[in-house]
């Protein structure tokens, strides 16, 4: 079974703090993704990575950065947390590249990290 | 641009009722379509998918048919169970390979 593990289920941080959200996958997947989930808005892509040290902006990258130093780990960084970043954050991974069909680019999700910024 | 619109929730049904969750999309080209399910306290799981027009995806008693003429991918189940209570997300994969999600529909099934 594919396993995507997010290090924390719940986090409470203060405005201005630097926040790290960690995600690890154990299936040697090439692609990893960070989304945020908000009521009424569904999931929105923040950043994704298609290889070690490679990253691409998603739809809402402002206020976030990412790091992928090892294939299995993809970190989301909030440089200076703000209250509007209170949300559920979901990490996902897929085996191969974005294009093409088939099971190889199905995204598998972690359980999520619910972040509250006070 | 690409977008996905789902019916608003929450949807509350009695056990063994028929379920329909509507999903329509706007996209260029021929996207692949997906339904994901999120059970309480968990991440999203792929429920079913369809990659071309008239394809029917099915899993765990759920079905959805890719209707190009109506740009729809409605989710159906003939007889829901309490264990089906979850949030359901419709999504498309655009030509660039990204997933575009609808806003999610919460389903609550009462015994």
Asked whether the predicted pLDDT for residue A64 surpasses 70, the reply is yes
Which residues does residue B34 pair with via DSSP β-bridges, in sequence order? B49, B91
Over the stretch A39-57, which tens digit does the pLDDT of each residue have? 888 899 999 998 898 999 9
Q: What is the pLDDT of residue A67?
A: 97
Other CB atoms within a 10 A radius of the CB of residue A29 amount to: 21
Compare all CA atoms of chain B with the CA of A100 and give the residue at the minimum distance.
Answer: B97
Q: What is the pLDDT of residue B23?
A: 97
In chain B, which residues have their Cβ closer than 8 Å to the Cβ of A44? Answer: 101
pLDDT tier at A100, thresholds 50, 70, 90: low
How many Å lie between the alpha carbon of A106 and the closest alpha carbon of chain B?
A: 8
DSSP state of B104: -
Q: What is the pLDDT of residue A99?
A: 56
User: Contact A98/B89, CB-based, under 8 Å?
Assistant: no
pLDDT tier at A13, thresholds 50, 70, 90: very high
Query: Residues of B88-98 as b/e, b for ≥16 C-beta within 10 angstroms?
Result: bbbbbbbeebb
Judged by a CB distance cut-off of 8 A, whether residue A42 touches chain B is yes
In chain B, which residues have their Cβ closer than 8 Å to the Cβ of A46? Answer: none
Q: What is the pLDDT of residue B94?
A: 79
Q: What is the pLDDT of residue A110?
A: 94
Contacts of residue B11, Cβ cutoff 8 Å, sequence gap at least 6: B19, B21, B105, B106, B107, B108
Compare all CA atoms of chain B with the CA of A3 and give the residue at the minimum distance.
Answer: B43
User: Contact A110/B43, CB-based, under 8 Å?
Assistant: yes
User: Contact B89/A44, CB-based, under 8 Å?
Assistant: no
Other CB atoms within a 10 A radius of the CB of residue A19 amount to: 19
Q: What is the pLDDT of residue A103?
A: 61
> What is the pLDDT averaged over residues A7-16?
95
Compare all CA atoms of chain B with the CA of A110 and give the residue at the minimum distance.
Answer: B43
Helix (H) or strand (E) holding A115: strand A113-117
In chain A, which residues have their Cβ closer than 8 Å to the Cβ of B44? Answer: 43, 90, 92, 109
Tens of each residue's pLDDT in chain B, 111 residues:
889 999 888 999 999 999 999 999 999 888 899 999 999 888 899 999 998 899 999 999 999 999 999 999 999 999 999 999 999 999 998 777 788 999 999 999 999
> Which candidate in B8, B42, B43 is best for mutational testing of the A interface (most A CBs within 10 A)?
B43
C-alpha B21/C-alpha A7 separation (Å) is 33
Q: What is the pLDDT of residue A63?
A: 96
Q: What is the pLDDT of residue A2?
A: 67
pLDDT tier at A97, thresholds 50, 70, 90: low
């Amino acid at each position: 079974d594919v396993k995507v593990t997010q290090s924390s289920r719940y986090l409470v941080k203060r405005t201005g703090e630097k926040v790290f959200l960690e995600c690890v996958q154990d299936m040697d997947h090439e692609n990893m993704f960070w989304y945020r989930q908000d009521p009424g808005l569904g999931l929105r892509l923040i950043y994704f990575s298609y290889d070690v040290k490679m990253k691409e902006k998603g739809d809402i990258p402002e206020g976030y950065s990412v790091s992928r130093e090892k294939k299995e780990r993809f970190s989301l960084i909030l440089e200076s947390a703000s209250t509007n970043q209170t949300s559920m954050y979901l990490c996902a991974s897929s085996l191969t590249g974005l294009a093409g069909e088939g099971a190889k680019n199905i995204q598998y999700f972690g359980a999520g990290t619910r972040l509250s910024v006070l | 641009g690409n977008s996905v619109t789902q019916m608003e929730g929450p949807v509350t049904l009695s056990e063994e009722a028929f379920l329909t969750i509507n999903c329509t999309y706007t996209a260029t080209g021929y996207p692949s379509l997906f339904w994901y399910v999120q059970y309480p306290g968990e991440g999203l799981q792929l429920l079913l998918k369809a990659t071309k027009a008239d394809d029917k995806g099915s899993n765990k008693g759920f079905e959805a048919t890719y209707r190009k003429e109506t740009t729809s991918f409605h989710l159906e189940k003939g007889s829901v169970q309490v264990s089906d209570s979850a949030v359901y997300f419709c999504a498309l994969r655009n030509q660039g390979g990204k997933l575009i999600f609808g806003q999610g529909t919460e389903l609550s099934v009462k015994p």
